[in-house]
Amino acid sequence: MRGLVFNIQRFSLHDGPGVRTVVFLKGCPLRCRWCSNPESQVHQPEIMYLERRCLRCGACSAVCSAQAIVSAEDGTRVINREACTLCGRCVEACMPEALRWSGEEKSAEEVAMAIEADEVVYRTSGGGVTFSGGEPLEQAEFVYEIASICRRKGIHTAIETSGYAEQGKIAALIPLIDLWLFDVKHPDNEKHRYYTGVDNEPIIANLRYLSRLGVPVVVRIPFIGGVNADQETVAETIELLRSIGGVREVHLLPYHELGVGKYGQLGRTYRAPGYSVTAEDVDEALEKFRAAGFVARNDGIKPRPRQAD
Ligand code: SF4
Ligand code: SF4
């Protein structure tokens, strides 16, 4: 069984308990406007272009028989992604590695070996592996294979999911996943569709399903000013989670623009959907969640200073 992986990150502290290896799988049905890993979205390998490394030597264009990579006026490269056949010759020809692949096919055994390399660290820290993306449920069978190996080795498994998947895929993975880190991005369906490109109804149905079965779930909310961080939306989110029942823990995640440069590298445009929240926004929301009976925490938000009135 082979799958498309775009990164394997060791020693992560933010994707579940303890120290973890995060396996990033490529391909996602959502198009969140704030996505900081745009290279995770497409279900096939892509070529990324890092302009600051480019020597303007033209070696890439010289080997491209599709004439898909051409020089701009200043010597930087422009890839015509419709004409590109993904042959990879330009990547091989580029000595300073200004061109590189995002996404590589790997076998389940190869990925499991990379995970097992840090078994001792997992044991001492209470960590394990986290499947992330993109949307890892898009490659559910691949995750199943790797998680089966991890189960045999006694390695803790977590999955970070948008929850947008067929319920059958979730059902198949329940026995192999110890912790579900489940995103709830917006309680309002119209706004959810506007910000992510998909309806939230199947997501809510899947969260309800996991909760009903008593599966360990942490709900994670990318907490974004102008999107879902206003107190009215917080109250609606709380109401939604209470109606689902079974969810005990809620984490607020940061919004940042660290991935903006990658949009340019992929020939895409970033449209900032919102802004960072203040400490008051975070505190007020956490208080509301706690008052409603949830264990709530800030999972990495560094609030922006409040502007003077
Ligand atoms: S081969 Fe690499 S360094 Fe040379 S022009 Fe192409 S992208 Fe730039
Ligand atoms: S991958 Fe092949 S077709 Fe695409 S730009 Fe590079 S050399 Fe040209």
- Which residue has the least CA distance to atom 8 on ligand 1? 54
Distance 67 CA to ligand 1 centre (A): 14
Whether omega before 246 lies within 30 degrees of 0, making that bond cis, reads: no
pLDDT tens sequence across 252-289 = 999 888 889 999 999 999 988 888 899 999 999 999 99
Atom nearest to 97 CA in ligand 1: 2
Q: Could you report the per-residue pLDDT of 280-301, keeping only the tens digit for each?
A: 999 999 999 999 999 999 998 8
pTM for the full model?
Answer: 0.92
Q: Which ligand neighbours the alpha carbon of 94 most closely?
A: 1
Helices 201-212 and 231-244 pack at an angle, to 10 degrees, of: 50
What percentage of the chain has pLDDT greater than the value 70? 99
- Ligand 1 midpoint to CA 94 (Å): 5
Given a contact cutoff of 8 angstroms between Cβ atoms, the answer to whether 60 and 167 are in contact is no
Q: State the closest ligand 1 atom to the C-alpha of 56, by its place in the atom list counted from 1.
A: 5
Longest dimension (CA), the chain: 64
Check pLDDT > 70 for residue 309. Answer: no
pLDDT in tens, 69-98: 999 999 999 999 999 999 999 999 999 999
Nearest to 88 by CA among 73, 74, 76, 103: 103
Tell how far the Cα of 62 is from the centroid of ligand 2, in angstroms. Answer: 10
How far apart, in Å, are the Cα atoms of 19 and each of 93, 121, 132, 212? 38, 7, 15, 29
The answer to whether 250 and 234 are in contact (CB under 8 A) is no
Q: Is the domain 46-102 a CATH 3.20.20.100 member? A: no
Q: Can you tell me which residue has the tokens 């006026």?
A: 73
Q: Are 47 and 155 in contact (CB under 8 A)?
A: no
Q: What is the pLDDT of residues 6-64, one digit of tens each?
A: 999 999 998 999 999 999 999 999 999 999 999 999 999 999 999 999 999 999 999 99
Does 290 sit in the ligand 1 pocket, CB within 6 Å? Answer: no
Let me know: does 54 contact 96? Beta carbons within 8 Å: yes
DSSP class per residue in 24-49: EEP--S---TT-S-GGGSSSS-EEEE
- How many residues can be counted in the chain? 309
CA dist., res. 240 & res. 33, Å (int): 23
What are the residue ranges of CATH 3.20.20.70 in the chain? 2-43+104-298
Which atom in ligand 2 lies closest to the alpha carbon of residue 93? 7
Q: What is the pLDDT of residues 178-213, one digit of tens each?
A: 999 999 999 999 999 999 999 999 999 999 999 999
Atom of ligand 2 nearest to the CA of 91: 6
> Of the CATH numbers 3.40.630.10, 3.20.20.70, 3.40.710.10, 3.40.190.80, which one belongs to the domain with range 2-43+104-298?
3.20.20.70
38 CA distance to ligand 1 middle (Å): 22
Substitution candidate for ligand 2 out of 70, 90, 99 with most atoms within 8 A of CB = 90
Give the amino acid at 19. Answer: V
CA 265 – ligand 1 centroid, Å: 13
Write down the pLDDT at residue 307: 63
Going by C-alpha positions, the residue among 195, 278, 200 that lies closest to residue 237 is: 200
Cα 52 to averaged position of ligand 1 atoms, centre (Å) = 10
CA distance linking residue 267 with residue 68, whole number of Å? 13
**Which ranges constitute the DSSP H helices of 64-107?**
89-93
What residue owns the CA closest to ligand 2's atom 3? 84
Which atom of ligand 2 has the smallest separation from the CA of 88?
1
Domain limits, CATH 3.30.70.20, in the chain: 46-102
Separation of CA 237 from chain center: 21
What is the three-class DSSP state of 114? helix
The residue whose CA is least distant from atom 2 of ligand 2 is 87
- Find all residues with CB under 8 Å of 242, minimum gap 6, and list them: 292, 293
308 has a pLDDT exceeding 60: no
**Closest Cα partner for 183 from 208, 218, 211?**
218
Ligand nearest to the CA of 88: 2
Ligand nearest to the CA of 54: 1
